[in-house]
Structure 1
Amino acid sequence: MSYQISGAGALDQPTCRLPGSQLWVRGPCGVPETPYFAFLGGSETFGRFVQTPFPALIDRLTGQACLNLGCANSGLDTLLSDAALMRAAAGAEAVVLQLPGAQNLSNRYYRVHPRRNDRFLAPSNRLIALYPEVDFTEFHFTKHLLNSLLRCGSDRFAEIRAELRGIWLDRMERLLRALEGRVLLLWLQYPDHWPQGGEPLGADPLLVTRSLIDRVAGRSLGLIEVPVVPAGEQDGELEKMVYGPLQAPSAEHMPGPAMHRTIAARVADRLRALG
């Protein structure tokens, strides 16, 4: 295993890479020899800013080893392209997959970074032709890009939305086939506090509708829905998190320790019910 500890205020637990993988995950840093559950997802599954994320709590609740393959800022492209990570997930008794948004996918309109899927790399000629007035050098993140394009008008953006939803469905189905359907889908439902006309893309997972989720849920072991209260909206939660001085705004919008305990209890119940 390779290890990485980064930044002031870094968590006590190091991150690690599986042999042959390019991704830093939470671990523990070793694929268990005994039967285990695997967890795939982004920053919440990784447990950004918390000492004990929900996969580690589920390990204690179920008594079965849990391998946290959560990778901060990852998306479906990241997961599907990493053979070592997919092998580790395929060896699990069951896989819990945090539902990702649709914004962080390479498509016919733009490319994303192969590992940091939230990073916008370049527009295609198709996107440049659709938005000739836009200077794409201004964008570094997919969410900023899409919010700006939507503000240019909903008619043109409908093409982008349809493309991303179609790509999301295709890659989710590919992932489920690769894991032979032994996947519990975890829908972390964030509140959308923005009034109509405010935040254009709505709440996470971005651009993913109930109908899309229902389509993939039918090919999985089931769907777990957990409403999320971010740490900044719960008294005392931020004080229990680990982050540097400049990371406070990000930490406010992430689940705190209490929310991780809630998620763990819900997921552990479903895993135990699988028998």
Structure 2
Amino acid sequence: MSMHVTSVGALRDPICRYPGSTLPVRGPCAELTPPYVAFLGGSETFGRFIEAPFVARVAHQLGQSCVNLGSINAGLDAMLNDAGVMRIAAGAGLSVVQLPPVQDLSNLYYRVHPRRNDRFLAPTARLTALYPKVDFTEFHFTRHLVTTLHQTGPGHFALLRDELRAVWLARMTQLLQALGERAFLLWLQYDALPPQAGDLPGPDPLAVTDAMVERLKPLARGVVEVPVTLAGHVPGETGKMVFGPLQAPAAGHMPGPAMHQRIATRLSAAITALH
């Protein structure tokens, strides 16, 4: 197990890499003796800036072994392309899958970093033809990319939006089928961001709609929806988090300990109801 350090004074997040996996997930590494509940997701599941993420709280509430496979800025590509992580998740009695935003995956229009899926790597010829006046060397993050493209040419953006949603549905279907339909979908719905105007920009998970989630329900045990308020919008909440001085803005845009407790309570109730 190694430690993840990004700034002086930051939380020294324990990082675990399981055998056969290259994806850095939240540690400490857990025993993989069945039965256990696996949790797949990005920064929220990992519990960035949080000493006790919701996965650890679910384990405490249920008295059951829980394996946190959350990885910072990971999306569907990072999960599906890591054989070790998928093997662990498929071996769980139950898996909880945090719904990711649609923009953090490679598609017909652009490629993302294979592990940190929020990183934009390069456009394809299809995207440069759609936006010939855009300098794509200016973009490093997918949300900045899609927000700018939406503002630059909303009419053209519909083609990209439809592709992202279609690819997201296809890969979510692939993921849930690989888990043997033994998964809860965790839909974190941020309620403290500006209201959505048109299709974009909007709250995370970006561009995920009720209709898309309905398409996935037959492949899952259920959907747990949790309204989430960012830590920066809750007085005193960031003071309960651990981060370095340069990370304060990022911490304010993540769920704080109170939200992790709310998520854990909702998940624990849903898992208990299965028995």
Does structure 2 conserve the Cα–Cα contact (< 8 Å) formed by 1:31 and 1:88? no
* Code of the aligned partner of 1:153: G
Q: Distance in 2 between matches of 1:272 and 1:10?
A: 35
Q: What CA distance in whole angstroms lies between the structure 2 residues aligned with 1:27 and 1:268?
A: 20
TM superposition shift of 1:236: 1.4
What residue identity is the alignment partner of 1:240? K
Show structure 1 runs of 4+ deviating over 4 A.
Answer: 195-199
Partner of 1:249: 249
Kindly tell me: are residues 195 and 60 of structure 1, through their superposed partners in 2, closer, same or farther at Cα, counting changes over 3 Å? Answer: closer
Residue 17 (structure 2) aligns with: 17
TM-score by length of 2: 0.96
Matching residue of 1:150: 150
SS at match of 2:262: helix
* CA 1:86–1:102: 2 relative to 1, 3 Å: same
SS where residue 96 of structure 2 aligns? strand
* Alpha-carbon shift at residue 48 of structure 1 (Å): 0.4
Structure-1 separation of matches of 2:165 and 2:138: 24
> Which residue is equivalent to 1:187?
187
Match of 1:116 in 2: 116
**Is residue 200–residue 207 contact of structure 2 (8 Å, CA) maintained in 1?**
no
Question: Contact 1:110–1:124 at 8 Å: present in 2 too?
Answer: yes
Is 1:259 aligned with 2:246? no
Any gaps of 5 or more consecutive residues in structure 2?
A: none
- Cross-structure match for 1:86: 86
Within 1, Cα distance between the matches of 2:196 and 2:254? 23
| Shift, 1:233, TM fit | 1.4
Q: Cα deviation per residue 1:198-256 (whole Å; 9 max; x = unaligned)?
A: 99321111011110011102210000000001111112111110011111111111111
For residues 85-234 of structure 1, the aligned pairs below 5 Å read: 85-191=85-191, 193-194=193-194, 197=197, 200-234=200-234
Distance 2:84 2:98 in 1: 19
Does residue 1:269 correspond to 2:269, yes or no?
yes
Cα offset, 1:20, TM superposition: 2.1
Cα distance change on mapping 1:199 and 1:234 into 2, 3 Å:
farther
Aligned-pair identity in percent equals 57
RMSD: 1.5
The residue aligned with 1:3 is 2
Q: Runs of 5+ in structure 1 lacking a partner? A: none
Residue 13 of structure 1: how far off its partner (Å): 4.7
